[in-house]
């Protein structure tokens, strides 16, 4: 199984400041045949289901604000919130869909400092 | 608007069975793979199962293999999860999720609200 490890577990950032979440996979999720990283980021606000933010490691889902961006390749990935807003308080999960069982990171809780 | 509405959750005794349903609308159901993901309240996300658009590819987590069966009825725009021999550790909120592609090796782009399954005597 591919193990997904996020860091940090929690993060407190001032409004308007940058938040950075890292995700490391225990093996590459880059498929050489199509040069795509099978990595997604989901946001889960309290009491709500998750919501897709980023897929193929760096493609922003339609309607997601452009302050959210994803980067990385192979085994190391980053989700960046360029200017944290109050509505971004949530738990963020990375997920690999390269192979089954699909696996999620443990989650990173983002709060306002 | 994509809608995924789960039903069938509830309180069930260990060893018993339960069948979850997911009614899909707002998209062409038989074009997309579907998945089940569960979450113990207050904890992280665990992928349970995935099924391709035409049911040719079906996968399960090891924790449920041999006990759970996923299926879909494209004529009814519905996804199902038959859960047998339930255990206390199956207690969780079960989400129905739509993939962004027809194959199972694809990201989830929509999530339902979830249905709670509690396994307890």
Angle among Cα A85, A89, A93 to the nearest 5 degrees reads: 120
A60 touches chain B (CB under 8 A): no
Q: Which two tokens stand for residue B56?
A: 């040719």
DSSP code at position A13: E
Residue in chain A nearest B62 by alpha carbon: A101
Decide: helix, strand or coil at residue B31: helix
pLDDT digits (tens, 9 = 90+) for A7-49: 999 999 999 999 999 999 999 999 999 999 999 999 999 999 9
Look at residue B6 in the predicted model and tell me its pLDDT: 98
Residue in chain B nearest A95 by alpha carbon: B107
Look at residue A60 in the predicted model and tell me its pLDDT: 98
pLDDT digits (tens, 9 = 90+) for A78-94: 999 999 999 999 999 99
Give residues with Cβ within 8 angstroms of A91, minimum separation 6.
A43, A44, A107, A108, A109, A110
- Going from the C-alpha of B80 to that of each of A84, B9, B11, B13, B105, the distances in angstroms are 39, 12, 18, 20, 19
pLDDT (mean) for A89-102: 98
Look at residue A98 in the predicted model and tell me its pLDDT: 98
CB A60 within 8 A of CB A67: no
pLDDT digits (tens, 9 = 90+) for B33-73: 999 999 999 999 999 999 999 999 999 999 999 999 999 99
- Mean pLDDT, rounded, of chain B: 97
């Amino acid at each position: 199984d591919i193990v997904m490890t996020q860091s940090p577990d929690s993060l407190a950032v001032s409004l308007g400041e940058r938040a950075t979440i890292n995700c490391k996979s225990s093996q590459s999720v880059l498929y050489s045949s199509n040069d795509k990283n099978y990595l997604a980021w989901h946001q889960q606000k309290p009491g709500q289901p998750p919501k897709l933010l980023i897929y193929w490691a760096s493609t922003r889902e339609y309607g997601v604000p452009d302050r959210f961006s994803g980067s990385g390749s192979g085994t190391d990935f980053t989700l960046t919130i360029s200017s944290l807003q109050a509505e971004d308080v949530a738990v963020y999960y990375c997920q690999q869909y390269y192979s089954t069982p699909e696996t999620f990171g443990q989650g990173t809780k983002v709060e306002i400092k | 608007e994509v809608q995924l509405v789960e039903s069938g959750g509830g309180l069930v005794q260990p060893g018993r069975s339960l069948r979850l349903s997911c009614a899909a609308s707002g998209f062409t159901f038989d074009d997309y793979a579907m998945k089940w993901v569960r979450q113990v309240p207050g904890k992280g996300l665990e992928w349970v199962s995935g099924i391709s658009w035409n049911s040719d590819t079906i996968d399960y987590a090891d924790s449920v293999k041999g006990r759970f069966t996923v299926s879909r009825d494209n004529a009814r725009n519905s996804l199902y999860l038959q859960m047998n021999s339930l255990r206390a550790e199956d207690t969780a909120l079960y989400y129905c999720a739509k993939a962004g592609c027809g194959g199972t090796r694809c990201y989830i782009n929509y999530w339902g609200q979830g249905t709670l399954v509690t396994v307890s005597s």
